[in-house]
Amino acid sequence: MANQDSRMTTSEPPPAPQRATLLRVLLDLDAAVSLHIYTFFHPIIPFPLLKSLEFSGDGRLFFPIILSLLLTRTTSNLLLLNLLLGSFLDLLLIGLLKHLIQRPRPVYNKNMFLSFAVDHWSFPSGHSSRVSFIATLFYFYADPVRQVLVALSKFDAEAVFVKYFVVVVGLWAAITSVSRVLLGRHFVLDVVIGACLGVAEGTFVVRVFNYEKLSSLFI
């Protein structure tokens, strides 16, 4: 009887079945949907088109353009300075999040040039945040942007190119973000969160972190 009691007290309960966390389920679903989208569209959409969109939203192109325009002083310095401030903010925030979360990129991501060590990681999409930030800032500065276009071109204020330029920029941002999944660089969730961050950054720059307010602190 004693031996039976001893066995009863020392026996361990059977291990509980492992339950997938909600986050794991979400990530697995995200990976499956992303792979399905990539597999379906990859043979259809030309690779050079996707690469062109990738290049158009690359920070290695964006920063030199802003600095060149600032040096030439042919456009609105206020808009360019806020673009520059927001771009540095985006670079720091995306780099920090990638470093902290460290989600691997899709296994089918091929031939990608890595500018920084954190580019090994997928979440969130830096391209999506960058182009969404640009589109958001252009939306808030729509009138100054149109004035610059009129000053730099032969178009008048009612020309279609001028009137809908901000809309075109928004469409470019959306298509470029989607192309990150089609190119196999990112998962859908990376792109969605990246785009949301870009919109939030644009709003933050316009409302709080802009050249006008920062310069007033030192005057």
How far is residue 179 CA from its own chain's centroid?
Answer: 12
Let me know if 36 is a catalytic residue. Answer: no
CB 123 within 8 A of CB 105: no
In the numeric block, which tokens belong to residue 137?
């800032």
Token readout for 177 is 């973000």
Active site residues: 127, 186
